[in-house]
Amino acid sequence: MIVNADDLGYSSAVNRAVVESMVDGLCTHATIMANMPGFEEACELVHSNGLADRVGVHLVLTEGVPLTADLKRCRRFCDPDGRFCLARSKRIMFLERGEREAIRKELDGQIARCRAEGLNPEHADSHRHAHEEWAIATEVIGICRSDGIRWLRLARNIGRSTGVLRAAYRRMVNYRISRAGLARAEYFGSWEDWEFAIRQGIRPVGEIEIMVHPQYVENEILVDATCGKNLAEILEAAVSG
Inter-residue contact 1 to 238 (CB < 8 Å): yes
pLDDT at 95: 96
Mean pLDDT of the chain: 94
d(CA 119, CA 158): 31
pLDDT at 50: 98
pLDDT at 199: 81
Give strand pairing partners of 216: 222
Torsions phi, psi of 191, nearest 5?
-60, -40
pLDDT band at residue 236 under the 50/70/90 scheme: confident
In angstroms, how far is CA 30 from the centroid of its own chain? 8
In angstroms, how far is CA 5 from the centroid of its own chain? 8
d(CA 147, CA 135): 19
pLDDT at 231: 93
Q: Please say if the pLDDT value at position 123 is more than 80.
A: yes
Alpha helices in the chain (DSSP H): 12-23, 39-48, 69-72, 97-116, 134-146, 164-179, 191-199, 231-240
What DSSP element (H or E) covers 4?
A: strand 2-8
Nearest to 5 by CA among 33, 47, 37, 41: 33
pLDDT at 241: 60
Q: Please say if the pLDDT value at position 206 is more than 90.
A: no
pLDDT at 196: 87
Q: Which residue has the higher pLDDT, 176 or 227?
A: 176
pLDDT, mean of residues 93-105:
97
- Containing structural domain, residue 158: 2-240
By the 10 Å C-beta count (0-12 exposed, 13-18 middle, 19+ buried), 147 is classed as: middle
Q: Which residues contact 50 (CB under 8 A, 6 or more apart)?
A: none
Inter-residue contact 92 to 134 (CB < 8 Å): yes
Per-residue pLDDT tens for 57-96?
A: 999 999 999 999 999 999 999 999 999 999 888 899 999 9
For residue 204, give the CATH number of its domain: 3.20.20.370
Q: Please say if the pLDDT value at position 228 is more than 70.
A: yes
pLDDT at 240: 66
- DSSP class of residue 232? H
Q: Please say if the pLDDT value at position 12 is more than 80.
A: yes
Per-residue pLDDT tens for 146-195?
A: 999 999 999 999 988 888 999 999 999 999 999 999 999 999 999 999 88
Nearest to 76 by CA among 130, 155, 39, 126: 130
> Within a 13 Å sphere around the CA of 214, how many CA atoms are in the beta-carbon half?
33
pLDDT, mean of residues 201-216:
87
∠ Cα 197 131 150 (to 5°) = 85
The Cα-based distances of 73 to 42, 65, 87, 95, 130 in angstroms read 28, 11, 17, 15, 19
pLDDT at 234: 85
pLDDT band at residue 118 under the 50/70/90 scheme: very high
| Domain count for the chain | 1
Map 201-212 to HEC letters. CCCCCCCEEEEE
Q: Please say if the pLDDT value at position 140 is more than 70.
A: yes
Nearest to 206 by CA among 226, 181, 225, 188: 188
∠ Cα 53 56 57 (to 5°) = 150
pLDDT at 7: 98
